[in-house]
Amino acid sequence: MAVGGAWKSVKPYLAMVFLQFGYSGMYVISVASLKSGMSHYVLVVYRNAVAAAVVAPFALWFERKTRPKMTLAIFLKIMALAFLEPVLDQNFYYMGAKNTSASFSSALFNVLPAVTFVNAVILRMEKIDIKKRRSQAKVVGTLVTVIGALLMILYTGPIIEFVWTKGRSHHAGDSGQNESHWLIGTFMLLFSCFCWSAFFILQSHTLKSYPAELSLSTLICLMGAGQGGALALVMERSTKPWLIGFDTRLFTAVYSGIMCSGVAYYVQGIVMKERGPVFVTAFNPLCMIITAIMGSIILAEEITLGRVLGAVIIVIGLYSLIWGKSKDHLTEPSQPREKEAALVKTSPIDHVAVIDIQPARNP
């Protein structure tokens, strides 16, 4: 029993670490494909079509007896999820990463937990009591994270050399980039981060009325491919962007679809039901470190002092926020169960599952 309990407690951490390695690979190979000429509109369609095709058989088999009935409210939520993540988030991320770099985009995405926290406060899903230490840690952590992001954007600094980069010419992606393109790419990444945060919150809420992770992942990917396809047909008028062979573009679509859409949506949904959206976003710093190393080795990307300092500040703010959230998680079980249903407006985001919303009131 002790071993089983320890395994159960450590599973969410192992799952999120596994996902960060998967996302790191996606950051690097997608930037390589996009800068070699692949259309990000087409990549989004192929990525989600592959994800739907891979996950659908598992959903049909494992959830054939437990899948809830589809209602109009659930269908509209899934359509919104598909628009937020596959369409908006992925397209704006790919555009932003193409104008910046893999290491910069992965580092900047560390503001995701802070954005999720702010959105949760606005939606009254997060309780803030400024007199309590953990609430102060959340607010201070969010502010520090924003300062770190601003430092990354506004200050470059000298290039940092590593053992594996000495004597090697760097990719022109950092120094040769037009400053206006870099700034536009940064704002695209920030908007992508906002969409991803909104996706996490809505996914957490949707899982309460549709607790079938595999089926939900399949439907999100399928509808995302459909919505993204309609957008791609408008933006890409010729057939050339749609033609891919056995090259990095095909590998990017297959890898991103299986690992970062199908598997990620499912694993995130499982972990989110237990620990909440902020916990899911707390492991981004690991992805940043892996991506920076892989990007400097594979893509010869520059790593500058300003971005390292900004990333360190972001991580400090991030874990101040996570510390506050961990205290919420530890103290929540002590609350009487009968009071949980009353916490509709003040329930912490880690326990959004306790919000009692009648189906008739769903949008």
- What are the pLDDT digits (tens) for 291-342? 888 887 777 777 888 888 988 898 888 888 878 776 564 555 444 333 333 3
* Residue labelled with tokens 């890898």: 255
Q: What angle do CA 42, 50, 287 make, to 5 degrees?
A: 85
Per-residue three-class SS string for 172-231: CCCCCCCHHHHHHHHHHHHHHHHHHHHHHHHHHHHHHHCCCHHHHHHHHHHHHHHHHHHH
CA angle 205, 210, 216 (to 5 degrees): 95
169: confidence class by pLDDT, cuts 50, 70, 90: low
pLDDT in tens, 40-80: 999 999 999 998 998 899 899 989 888 999 999 999 999 99
pTM value?
0.76
Per-residue b or e along 26-61, where b marks 16 or more CB atoms closer than 10 Å to that residue's CB: bbbbbbbbbbeebbbbbbbbbbbbbbbbbbbeebee
The pLDDT value recorded for residue 166 is 62
pLDDT at 334: 41
* Residue of higher predicted confidence among 121 and 262: 121
In the predicted structure, residue 276 carries a pLDDT above the cut 70: yes
Kindly tell me if the per-residue pLDDT of 362 is higher than 50: no
Average pLDDT, the chain: 79
pLDDT at residue number 354? 29
Query: What is the three-class DSSP state of 304?
Result: strand
